[in-house]
Structure 1
């Protein structure tokens, strides 16, 4: 029986994606909040892009448009398989399609981490060195920084699909989420995954680890500068400009760090916790980032109101 199962999975050209275990009968109802989240995320991020393109050309809003583009791409990357499961019970995905999806998800996640780092740098320069803000963050320089970090995300993830394609998959081919992740797929391989594990760990440390470290150091410098301000009102005003970015950082890094710890160290974690963090890590930031920035930015909220009311 064991040999026949091994042969069957080895010859299989598909993985099985997972919805919400135990609630398969309710998937059509569960699709309603997911469709709503996708609609709000797409509408919100497109609205931000339209307003930034037409009205707001300051560096802060250009970085926000980069974040919106990344969030839109992440939503589009996960939408086909997620809605396919909940609307049509379409759970199978071919190996090539799975590898392509995980490439886009991981490269876009790395790009979003880089954009959050650029936004932290923007706040650092604006608060700690305001007189040189315009000369440091020029439009050509912003474009070059964005391009470099996009290329970094794509080039670092590019080897992953090829490393995965060389394996035979002979274990149970049911993945843990409604989309493909590298750390999920390699568990299905019936071969030595040491190279993939080390490479994945290296990517996490060099991208997410370093980006989050530099973001933390930026906020340390911002706090040191702000605490030197004698006026309490000016201190609060300066910190208020960082609230939206700080919320975006928490929304992005917290579930991903939790998910990484579960995959790497807490093998006996409850499956629903793994599933819950997986959904939060990819669906909540594209949904909440436009809302948070629209609420906290007076310039942005005023233009959104003008756009939809006139």
Structure 2
């Protein structure tokens, strides 16, 4: 397609898989992240997949760095078509075991990093009256869980920010679109990267999906941005609907199960936490985490979701065919009775 795509948090996990997915469509992909080793490896993957990479070292918590990166992208590639916000960090711990500085840092990266990326994109897209911003969200943007208060709060904030922005763009009849893709638990290096004060190593709450599932959804959303939200994975659908219908019940359920579900006995991670420094500064960790043995490579829910237009058309065509046949049968019986 040869679009110009910007991805924050592009060196690991979902961002890394998404960079590859856009590259497979022939796009020019700007990779924004902190880790030099991760940036170099991600750029090579984009090149091998058929895209053109532009690695840019950026801390998304710094608005000036994000703005400079956007300028560098348009200088090298031309107008930005798609901006994907995905960078984040967090802390696994009970709420009162997270310091004020740690909450501030998580908020600056995971929430304000999205705001700064969005503002940089809007500054360039609105005058041209075109462009798409994809916010990578989570089921936890709708429902908080124990031990992830900093992350859940940031994801809730992104959702509120995006809803306000969408209303403003609609008010202005803007050709710029913004959409959110809410993800389930994903097998990414984050469970080795994030600062944790849990007794055992952290893990995603099953069911776990491979990052390529998320990447396919993000690429689809970029191509179909008029839909306000995309939900990926049956667990995401269940979590969001469950919160709407029975939030109090979920409070008690998560109080009983949420601690054990996010910890597992496994080899402790060797990479340091990425809260203050990039975990892939000297060593690339790729897109996948430590849970390849149990992660799902596909989501039937997402396939049905992304193909629902074709499925609906097929259902209508089948119904029309059945009605036509039924009509013919009635007509044949009528001729017989007439004779």
TM-score (norm 1): 0.27
- Greater relative contact order structure (CA < 8 Å, 6+ sep): 1
TM-score (norm 2): 0.25
Task: Decide which structure has greater helix share.
Answer: 1
Task: Decide which structure has greater strand share.
Answer: 2
